[in-house]
Amino acid sequence: MPETLRWRHIAEAADPARVEALVAQTDVFSAEEARIAGELVTTTLSGSETYRFLFAEQAGELRGFTCFDRIPLSAVSFDLYWIAVASEARGSGLAQELMRRTAAFARGKRGKWLFAETSSREPYAAARAFYRKTGFEEVASFDDFYAEGDAKVIFRLQL
């Protein structure tokens, strides 16, 4: 029987490297994106910027995480900056549980909306399908945002 998941919100010293490695091994995100994901943990640990996290660990290994926070100057809206799960955890329901717990946390902080953005490129089709499957609606798209032919697609979940 597999070891149960351990859930935590507090970032630890090993997390920047663990997050970067997890994001890199998904084969969806670029090396720069993986580096930035790790940097968000680093800035939170240093206190120079702060983000909220939800980490899922199993047998001492990072299996998935979300990075999110209230949108500055908004009383009711949160941004989901990252959600990623280890390749071997895909299809296990872990991403859905991460999303459920993240939404519940934001709702508990009087959040009404959770926003997520992604790319319109083919490698991000699974992300767009995941957002729709978990109750998000597509609310905006900005053509040629990231690059020619690569739109920014924004999703919103009512909490």
pLDDT classification of 1: cutoffs 50, 70, 90:
very low
What one-character DSSP code corresponds to residue 72? T
Strand 137-147 and strand 113-119: the pairing is unpaired
Four-CA torsion 59, 62, 64, 66, nearest 10 degrees: 130
Q: What is the pLDDT of residue 91?
A: 85
Element at 61 (helix H, strand E): strand 61-70
Q: What is the pLDDT of residue 90?
A: 86
Distance separating alpha carbons of residues 146 and 152, to the nearest angstrom: 7
Instruction: Compute CA 105 distance to the chain's CA centroid, rounded to the nearest angstrom.
Output: 14
Nearest to 6 by CA among 42, 62, 57: 57
Distance separating alpha carbons of residues 45 and 103, to the nearest angstrom: 23
> CB atoms < 10 A from the CB of 99, how many?
23
The token pair at 120 is 């319109």
pLDDT in tens, 85-136: 998 888 889 999 999 999 999 999 999 999 999 999 999 999 999 999 999 9
pLDDT classification of 27: cutoffs 50, 70, 90:
confident
Q: What is the pLDDT of residue 150?
A: 96
Question: Domains along the chain?
Answer: 6-158 (3.40.630.30)
pLDDT in tens, 117-129: 999 999 999 999 9
Nearest to 130 by CA among 103, 101, 93, 158: 93
Mean pLDDT of all residues in 49-66: 94
pLDDT > 70 fraction of the chain, expressed in percent and rounded: 98
Nearest to 119 by CA among 137, 144, 99, 86: 144
Average pLDDT, the chain: 94
What one-character DSSP code corresponds to residue 88? G
